[in-house]
């Protein structure tokens, strides 16, 4: 008598784990962004330089770094399980990586710059900040737009999730500061991963 062992494809095992990781990473990134945004009220008695070096802002930036790094690593794996095309997921992953890079830079180089810069140097850093945020603005917007459009056209995710990602694209392009983009992107990507529809054959 012969017995046939049935093995699930490895992608079928990994994809749900990737979805959970993207949801968790997105929510961690959103929590970090919300914490950073709250610092404008919580730390209103501090100067900008002091606030950047505060434990609240440093921790918030590290949470955004961790969350979006996880999303960037796991997002492409959703292509094996959902209707979302791999190219759109890879583009969005690059956008998430740009958000993580900006947050990490703020938690490391930004803190050191706030420590050594004079008040005049800190007040005239606008051009440098804009250049540092350009990858987030351009790559992030391109990735989120790709997910929103393909998710809508392929009916891969709820239309409301696509609209949230579209709103995030506008915020990424119009607002150089990264926390608002990180907040909306984290929530939108977590929602997308949680509700993404599987391939018809899965």
Residue 48 lies in a domain: yes
**Residues 150, 86: contact at Cβ < 8 Å?**
no
174, burial (CB in 10 Å: exposed 0-12, middle 13-18, buried 19+): exposed
Q: Percent of the chain, pLDDT > 70? A: 84
Of the candidates 202, 195, 193, the one whose C-alpha atom is nearest the C-alpha of residue 78 is: 193
In eight-state DSSP terms, residue 201 is T
Judge whether 3 lies within some domain: no
Query: How many other β-carbons are positioned within 10 Å of the β-carbon of residue 140?
Result: 30
Of 175, 53, 68, which is closest to residue 117 (Cα–Cα)? 53
Residue 166, domain extent: 15-195
Q: Considering the domain boundaries, does residue 1 fall inside one?
A: no
Per the structure, the count of domains in the chain is 1
Which residues are bridge partners to 198 per DSSP? 82
pLDDT of residue 14: 47
pLDDT band at 110 (very low <50, low <70, confident <90, very high): confident
Are 64 and 32 in contact by the 8 Å Cβ rule? The answer is: yes
Q: What angle, rounded to 10 degrees, do the helices at 178-195 and 86-107 form?
A: 140
Residue count (the chain): 202
- Mean per-residue pLDDT over the chain, rounded: 84
Is there a domain that residue 164 lies in? yes
Helix (H) or strand (E) segment spanning residue 113: helix 109-116
The DSSP H or E segment spanning 37 is: helix 10-42
Asked if residue 9 belongs to a domain, the reply is no
* Residue 50 belongs to a domain: yes
Query: Considering the domain boundaries, does residue 143 fall inside one?
Result: yes
pLDDT at 197: 82
**Residue 7 falls inside a structural domain:** no
pLDDT in tens, 51-96: 888 999 999 999 999 999 999 999 999 988 888 999 999 999 999 9
pLDDT in tens, 144-176: 999 999 989 988 889 999 999 999 999 988 887
Please check the confidence at residue 201 and state whether its pLDDT lies above 80.
no
Provide the terminal-to-terminal Cα distance of the chain, rounded to the nearest Å: 31
């Amino acid at each position: 008598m012969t017995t046939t062992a049935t093995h699930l494809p490895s992608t079928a095992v990994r994809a749900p784990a990737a979805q959970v990781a993207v949801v968790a990473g997105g929510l961690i990134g959103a929590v970090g962004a919300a914490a950073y945004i709250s610092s404008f009220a919580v730390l209103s008695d501090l100067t900008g330089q002091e606030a950047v070096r505060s434990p609240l802002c440093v921790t918030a930036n590290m949470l955004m770094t961790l969350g979006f790094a996880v999303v960037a690593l796991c997002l492409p794996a959703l292509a094996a399980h959902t209707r979302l095309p791999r190219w759109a997921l890879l583009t969005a992953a690059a956008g998430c990586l740009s958000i993580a890079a900006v947050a990490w830079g703020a938690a490391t180089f930004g803190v050191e710059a706030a420590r050594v810069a004079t008040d005049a140097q800190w007040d005239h850093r606008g051009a440098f900040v804009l250049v540092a945020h350009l990858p987030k603005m351009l790559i992030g917007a391109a990735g989120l737009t790709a997910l929103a459009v393909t998710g809508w056209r392929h009916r891969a995710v709820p239309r409301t999730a696509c609209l949230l990602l579209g709103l995030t694209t506008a915020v990424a392009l119009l607002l150089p500061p990264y926390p608002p983009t990180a907040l909306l992107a984290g929530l939108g990507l977590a929602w997308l991963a949680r509700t993404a529809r599987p391939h018809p054959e899965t």
